[in-house]
Amino acid sequence: MKLFLLVLLLCGTVHCQKTVVLKKGMEPAKANLAGMHWMEGHWKGEAFGGITEEIWSPAQGGSMMFAFRLIANKGVQFYEIGHIRELDGTLWYELKHFDADLKGWEEKNEVQRFPLIKVEEDHTFYFDGFTFEKLNDDEINIHARIADEKGVTEEVTFYYKKQ
């Protein structure tokens, strides 16, 4: 009981970790795209000193595609394009980054890939380093583990409202 109260107290005053990391030997969780239908749509929020925007398509052909952009300092800072796809009974979150002029960050054939680790009640999907969380029909959070140039990792939360 004391440990529970300590965690509750800390989570109320300090940002609690919302992401998980795939540990060696762990198998991806079983799931399909039907459980993520709530991600469909146009979402906007604020992060990194600007406006963040994501547009998610309905699931079709085994994937839900998305486009992301960050607008700050009166211009686009970067884009992401990607999808969550169903493969071998699980889900994979995959993406590529682009500068404002659409020059890619990753090599031509390189893709950032994150396997699904677990699902909670069809409203929270934990990928390796990313968590997609439905708060209600009009609000979602996406929590991301992001490393800086020195390799220091921090968790960033994108608070989105449906447009």
- What are the structural domains of the chain? 30-162 (2.40.128)
Q: Are 141 and 125 in contact (CB under 8 A)?
A: no
Per-residue pLDDT, 85? 97
Per-residue pLDDT, 15? 52
> Which ranges in the chain belong to alpha helices (H)?
2-13
CA distance to 109, 130, 132, 136, per residue, from 124 (Å): 30, 10, 6, 11
Neighbour-count burial for 128-144, b at 16+ CB within 10 Å, e otherwise: bbbbbbbeeeeebbbbb
Neighbour-count burial for 64-91, b at 16+ CB within 10 Å, e otherwise: bbbebbbbeeeebebbbbbbbbbeeebb
User: Would you write out the chain's pLDDT as a tens digit for each of its 163 residues?
Assistant: 343 333 333 444 445 689 988 888 888 899 999 999 999 999 999 999 999 999 999 999 999 999 999 999 999 999 999 999 999 999 999 999 999 999 999 999 999 999 999 999 889 999 999 999 999 999 999 999 998 888 898 999 999 999 9
33 half-sphere exposure, CB direction, 13 A CA radius: 20
pTM of the model: 0.86
CA distance to 26, 117, 144, 146, per residue, from 17 (Å): 20, 15, 10, 13
